[in-house]
Structure 1
Amino acid sequence: MKDFKFKFSRTAVILSVLAIALALGGAGWTIYRIIRFGFPSFTLGLQHVVMLIVCALLLVVFVSLLIRSFYRITDKEIVLRFGVIKSTFKIEEITSVHLFTKTNKLVVYFKNETFTVIVVKPEWNNEFIKALTSKNENIRYDVSYTEKDEDNDGPDGQ
């Protein structure tokens, strides 16, 4: 069993940290209001309870997203943990893996003509592919190489 940590963009990490801070701030402010004013009415008390539940849910989702997001290759399947969400893919149903070097993403193709995109650190791509193909030798591996100057076409587009 081999684990590969999910690679988030810098923006996703920053937004997740901000969401965690906002949830902590919201929970702290609500607790302060409960301590200071109590529950003067049923409606306000209900509002406090709902706010605390929402803040707790946000904390669980975003903390688990940052801590528990990975790909795991077992003997029979690839397990994707994306926070609280879990998906599995059978290794025997994989037909090929394609590495797009321009975006550093692996695309895994299945027998039923579906695919999934794997995003790990670029330096782990070869290790991921070796771990995957060691479980099923029938998996074909392809690489797309791109020109560095491909996006810098001349002024006339040629």
Structure 2
Amino acid sequence: MIREAKISDTEEIVSCVRNVMREAWERYEKGYYPRKAIDFDLKYFNKERAEKMINSENTFLFIAEEDKIIGVVHGILYGESGFGMIHWLGVEFEYQEKGIGKQLLEKVFEYCKKKKIHKISLYTFPVLRSAINLYLKTGFVPEAYLKKQWWGVDFIFMSKWL
């Protein structure tokens, strides 16, 4: 089930996000994304930040759950500009390749359309091929390849027009 996150979900959300971040780093990003960077990201995403996302009118945080939280997507909408950004999307590894990431994205698209968002964008690493394939299948297109953008690594900037 995909739904909007509640304050009572925050501890489990943080646990899920950190688990997926660690696992993704070990499986795909090690040797690409610096250890210092993943440590920063793990520290940055905490309970207080999750609560702010849930309580803010210009952010979204949706979860996928099957007895426990197994996937998370969060991002921001930039007021009346019609533009939004997905800041992070992840699904626990044992639940990947089952359509959960696609369901989370579809929830974001539905939400954004209601909020009159015409374009949603995200950044991803070139090494995250499964994620890139998911984004392409759901209508995102690469707009830019950013060399040595954050922590000295390359990113792909992708967007979808709604």
TM bin, normalised by shorter chain, reads under 0.3
Q: Name which one, 1 or 2, has greater alpha-carbon Rg.
A: 1
Higher strand share: 2
TM-score by structure 2 length?
A: 0.25
